[in-house]
Amino acid sequence: MLDVLALMAPFFGLVALGWIAARRGLLPVDGIGGLMTFVLYFALSALLLRLSAQGRLQAGASATLLLVYAAASLAVMALGLWWARRAGLSRRNGALVALVTAFPNTGFLGLPLLTSLLGPDAAGPVAATLLIDVLVSCSLAMAWAHSHPHPHPGTSAGEPDDLPAHDPGPLAALLSSLKGALRNPLLLAMAIGLAVSALGLSLAKPVDDVLRLLGQASTPAALVTLGAIVARSQMRP
Q: Nearest Cα to 201, choosing from 192, 210, 211?
A: 192
Tens-digit pLDDT profile for residues 138-169? 888 888 888 755 454 444 444 444 434 455 56
Tens-digit pLDDT profile for residues 64-91? 888 999 999 999 999 999 999 999 999 8
**CA distances (Å), 61 to each of 124, 158, 169, 236, in order?**
5, 43, 34, 41
Q: Nearest Cα to 32, choosing from 40, 215, 188?
A: 40
Tens-digit pLDDT profile for residues 193-213? 999 999 999 999 999 999 999
Whether residue 228 contacts residue 32, with contact meaning beta carbons closer than 8 Å, is answered with yes
Tens-digit pLDDT profile for residues 90-129? 988 999 999 999 988 887 888 888 888 888 888 888 888 8
| pLDDT at position 94 | 92
